[in-house]
Amino acid sequence: MTSLTLEAPRATRAFRHRLLPLLILALAMAGGFTMMGSFSMVQEGAKAEMGLSDYALGLVQGVAAAVPLVVFSIPIGILVDRRNRVRLLLLLGLVWTAGTLLTAFAQNLPVLFLARMMAGIGTTGALTCALSLTADLCAPEQRGRAMLVVTLGKCLGQAGAFALAGWLLGALLHAPVVLTQGLAPWRGTHVLLAAISLCLILPLLALREPERREVEASIHAPFRVVVHELWARRGFLIPLFVGQVSVVMADAAASIWASPVLSRSYGLAPEAFAGWMGALIFSAGVLGSILGGLAADLGQKSSQRTGRRGGLLIGAVLAAAAGVPAALFPIAPSVPLFAAAVGLLMFCGTITGLVTSVALTVLIPNELRGLCIGAFIALAGLVGFGVAPSLVAWASDLLGGEAHLGQGLAIVGTAVGVVSVLAFLQAMRRAPMSATA
């Protein structure tokens, strides 16, 4: 396979010349996020077969993703800053593929927990690699568009977790294929997903490592130097992390519990909403990525032109504010209103996520980016995936039990939404003017 060099950004090179490697990165991210979110679509089948409670599902869906992220994300981020990122990305792709296959053959809760951990480690670690690689493909004022392409792959994967997994589940319920005969439909779905995942990561073999840009110290700088650089930017990084982690809490809770709410509160079978839910998430992701990428580039240009701090984050503030009322989707009086609200929530979450990613690549030196992204993923995993799903289950219990899942989800989503708006406003005020400022 012919190698594609991920060339360093040059003002004379058109953005379109970097699209092919960006698309390969996006394809890998699509595979990873499909595998990471696929269990949400089939969890009711696993619950029935394995006798799992909602708390057990919360552990598998939330804590199984959160604990390894806390343990591995920062070390992976350091490796991203100091080692060959393309090779690391390929390795992580194999990890999430293996986790998907192990999900199909898990016979007890601990093995299922391990399988979902592997899917989470591989996907989120790969996202750190992909964002770091993307930043070195383009000049700072083009990174919104570059991140847009990779984020579209992530959105396609999140939609695929509903649409593709739901379609495969429905197909296997009615006509099992030879490859999955003898397996329950939810297990067979993951066998087929693992095969698809392997195909999606193969194009990574065509990429080569790019030259690193915007290095303030050195990619091999002593750790004490790295810590000093991080400490100097704490006034910006802490509120930025709080803002985006709060958004992740709302989005993670929604993605995990939306399917059970539709089944329990609205009486819909998974195959009845898998298609439109996947299309809705993908559409929200596409539109959010486009708007978020353009808003980030325009905000960065505005800051450079006027000398004002934090212009890059204006889009994140506005999107976070719009996401607060959208978090009431679980108590919508009808399915169409449910769909409109959850679509708006995902749309806003995509914008804030993309703007935050651009901010880390534009306003943080190269030797800190992987570490910062890894630290963010660790914190988001711990709080967003580890706390939010269980918090929703706890809130529904306080309200009267599992029948109140929708109300508990609405309360958690709106509360963390308000926190995100306040935190992004503070991050705007404390933003540096450039990566080396």
Share of the chain above pLDDT 90, in %: 18
pLDDT at 14: 60
C-alpha to C-alpha distance for 89 and 259, rounded to whole angstroms: 30
C-alpha to C-alpha distance for 138 and 183, rounded to whole angstroms: 46
C-alpha to C-alpha distance for 293 and 144, rounded to whole angstroms: 4
Among residues 83, 89, 209, 227, which one has the least CA distance to residue 150? 89
Reply yes or no on whether the pLDDT at 328 is more than 50. Answer: yes
Of 123 and 386, more confident:
123
Residue 213 lies inside a defined structural domain of this protein: no
Most confident of 62-66, 187-191, 201-205, 394-398: 201-205
Six-digit token pair at 172?
Answer: 């296997």
Q: What's the domain range around 70? A: 17-206+220-430
pLDDT at 422: 94
Long-range contacts of 108-112 (CB under 8 A, 24+ apart): 108/50, 109/50, 109/52, 109/56, 109/59, 109/60, 112/46, 112/50, 112/60, 112/64
3 state DSSP class of 4: strand
Q: Express each pLDDT in 338-384 by its tens digit.
A: 889 999 998 999 899 888 888 888 888 877 777 787 777 777 767 77
Q: Are 211 and 218 in contact (CB under 8 A)?
A: no
pLDDT at 7: 47
Q: How far is CA 248 from CA 125, 156, 241, in A?
A: 16, 17, 10
Share of the chain above pLDDT 70, in %: 89
Lowest mean pLDDT across 5-19, 40-54, 181-195, 294-308: 5-19
Residue 1 lies inside a defined structural domain of this protein: no
pLDDT at 198: 92
Average pLDDT of the segment spanning 54-62: 76
Residue 215 lies inside a defined structural domain of this protein: no
Of 252 and 126, more confident:
126
Q: Residue 223 — very low, low, confident or very high, per pLDDT cuts 50/70/90? A: low
- What is the number of alpha carbons within 13 Å of residue 211 lying toward its C-beta? 7
Any idea which residue has 């609405």 for tokens?
410
C-alpha to C-alpha distance for 104 and 197, rounded to whole angstroms: 14
Helix (H), strand (E) counts: the chain: 15, 2
Residue 137 lies inside a defined structural domain of this protein: yes
Residue 211 lies inside a defined structural domain of this protein: no
Cβ contacts of residue 411 below 8 Å, gap of 6+?
395
Reply yes or no on whether the pLDDT at 317 is more than 80. Answer: yes
Residue 395 lies inside a defined structural domain of this protein: yes
Lowest mean pLDDT across 12-21, 256-265, 298-307: 12-21
C-alpha to C-alpha distance for 6 and 66, rounded to whole angstroms: 32
Residue 71 has phi, psi (to 5 degrees) of -80, -40
Cβ contacts of residue 85 below 8 Å, gap of 6+?
129, 132, 133, 209
Residue 121 lies inside a defined structural domain of this protein: yes
Q: Express each pLDDT in 169-194 by its tens digit.
A: 877 877 766 566 778 888 888 889 99
Q: Residue 10 — very low, low, confident or very high, per pLDDT cuts 50/70/90? A: very low
Reply yes or no on whether the pLDDT at 255 is more than 50. Answer: yes
Residue 169 belongs to what H/E stretch?
helix 143-174
Reply yes or no on whether the pLDDT at 17 is more than 50. Answer: yes
3 state DSSP class of 97: helix
Reply yes or no on whether the pLDDT at 35 is more than 70. Answer: yes
- Residues 169-187 as b/e (b if ≥16 CB within 10 A, e otherwise) read bbbbbeeeeeebeebbbbb
C-alpha to C-alpha distance for 312 and 301, rounded to whole angstroms: 8
CATH number of the domain encompassing residue 366: 1.20.1250.20
Most confident of 372-381, 382-391, 408-417: 408-417
pLDDT at 218: 53
Mean pLDDT over each residue of the chain, to the nearest integer = 81
**Length in residues, the chain:** 437
Residue 249 lies inside a defined structural domain of this protein: yes
Domain total in the chain: 1
Average pLDDT of the segment spanning 32-48: 84
Six-digit token pair at 363?
Answer: 């306003």
Q: Residue 12 — very low, low, confident or very high, per pLDDT cuts 50/70/90? A: very low
Six-digit token pair at 194?
Answer: 């693992």
Q: Residue 15 — very low, low, confident or very high, per pLDDT cuts 50/70/90? A: low
182: left (phi over 0), alpha (psi -120 to 50) or beta: left
